Amino acid sequence: MKFAVKKGWSNGRARSGVLQLGSCPFPIQTPALLLTTRKGLPPFTSPDLLTSSLPSPDSHLLQFSPLHFLEGISPKTISNIGGLHQMLSLHQHIFAAVPRDSIIALPEHDSTNKYGASFQTPGGRLLIKPAEYVELVSSMKPDFWVTLADEVPAWVSNKRNRTSVDRTLRWLDDCLSLNKESTTIFGSIVGGSSIEERHRCAQEVAQRNVSGYWIGGFGLGESMDERAALLTAVTDNLPEDMPRHVSGLGLPEEVLQGVAAGIDLFDSTYVYHLTLGGFALTFPLERNKGENADYQLSDSGGDGMKINLKATVYRKDTSPIVESCICFTCQNHTKAYLNHLFNVHEMLAQTLLEIHNTHHYLGFFCSIRKAIEEGKFEQFRRNFVESRRDRLFAAASSA
């Protein structure tokens, strides 16, 4: 793996970089989004559409949870096939293995113990020990993987926070010693809502022989106000020349908060949950403060950031989701058609909508990178948050 922060293109803590990893022949510009998958593929997008209908190389970063493969095709079979790249025939994509998954593999702190991390899955609670986890990951042959972590929500005690850091550090050492292959490993950093424990964990992990850092424990009850200090407590103690990956920050405002703290990689279930609910992203990707917004509110079921394509108002709407969007869905289909697909429960509805939402959110990350490189990130962030506030106010006023 090769990673470099672009010189002169940092803006405060926010930074723009280049990641070269695995068999992907293209450099990945950061900050970047890792697409959430289920067993290696986005929930509603097939391999052919993944390669033909989404922007390259931005869509080549794929995050998966190895725990998904404890049901169905066995890890040994996947290993015999040659790993996920070979099984899915996605030879130019980058696979990142992260144990936590906000869809079907949620961390369960009450059942975690000194032997392993517990996760709540559709099949019940599952305890994964470091040796089992490393064996599972090795069979998948990902481009990089995250070590096992004891993630805790924001409301646990200081003692439980200390225990989670101690366990995570011990499991990190176990994963490093058990790793027999020359793979790229990201060390896990936790600490809950304790700035001191976040600081301690970051300092300890920075001393280990890892290729990057995964920051966990977010999206588990902490507020936006306290999150900034927690992120800074971590990033201030990490080397500048290594990538930083975070889970649990999915909303646009949360992503901007992470970028402002110096995060490079994000995995998020935001697009998945929007698509499942029939919501399409419509917010402007580039915007100057003071522009008049064309709000789509009231009967549209939207809030200025997104619209509900199941709403009756779109039954006869022959326009695309976003007029200026160049994604496959907007170039070929209308809101009326998508509304029809949702009303008859046709699976194609989610497929077309996921293509648009993924394309739009990748465009949001492209706008972030452009703002950093122009030295205007803080202005971009401020304008976005203020515009978001205006949209919510307009939505509330029209209700």
183-202 tens-digit pLDDT:
899 999 999 999 999 999 99
Q: Largest Cα–Cα distance in the chain?
A: 61
Q: What is d(CA 354, CA 370) in angstroms, rounded to the nearest whole number?
A: 24
**Residue ranges of the binding site for Zn(2+):** 325, 327, 330, 356
How confident is the model at residue 299, as a pLDDT?
54
87-91, 122-126, 349-353: range with highest mean pLDDT: 349-353
For the chain, the average pLDDT equals 91
How confident is the model at residue 175, as a pLDDT?
96
172 pLDDT more than 60: yes
Supply angle C-alpha 364, 366, 372, rounded to 5: 105
Q: Span 109-121, mean pLDDT?
A: 91
Residue 336 three-state SS = helix
Side chain identity at residue 380, one-letter code? F
Side chain identity at residue 17, one-letter code? G
- Closest-CA residue to 188 (of 176, 205, 166): 205
What are the beta bridge partners of residue 306?
281
Its pTM stands at 0.93
How confident is the model at residue 10, as a pLDDT?
66
- The encoded tokens of residue 174 equal 């176990």
CB distance 265 to 244 below 8 Å: yes
Q: Span 170-186, mean pLDDT?
A: 91
Side chain identity at residue 107, one-letter code? P
User: pLDDT, tens digit, for every residue of 305-334?
Assistant: 899 999 999 999 999 999 999 999 999 999
Query: Where do we find the tokens 């790249």?
Result: 85
Q: Span 179-184, mean pLDDT?
A: 83
292 pLDDT more than 80: no
Query: Where do we find the tokens 């077309």?
Result: 352
How confident is the model at residue 212, as a pLDDT?
97
147 pLDDT more than 50: yes
Q: What is d(CA 171, CA 201) in angstroms, rounded to the nearest whole number?
A: 13
A 10 A CB-CB count for 374 gives 12
What are the beta bridge partners of residue 213?
187, 244
Q: Span 67-96, mean pLDDT?
A: 92
**Residue ranges of the binding site:** 325, 327, 330, 356
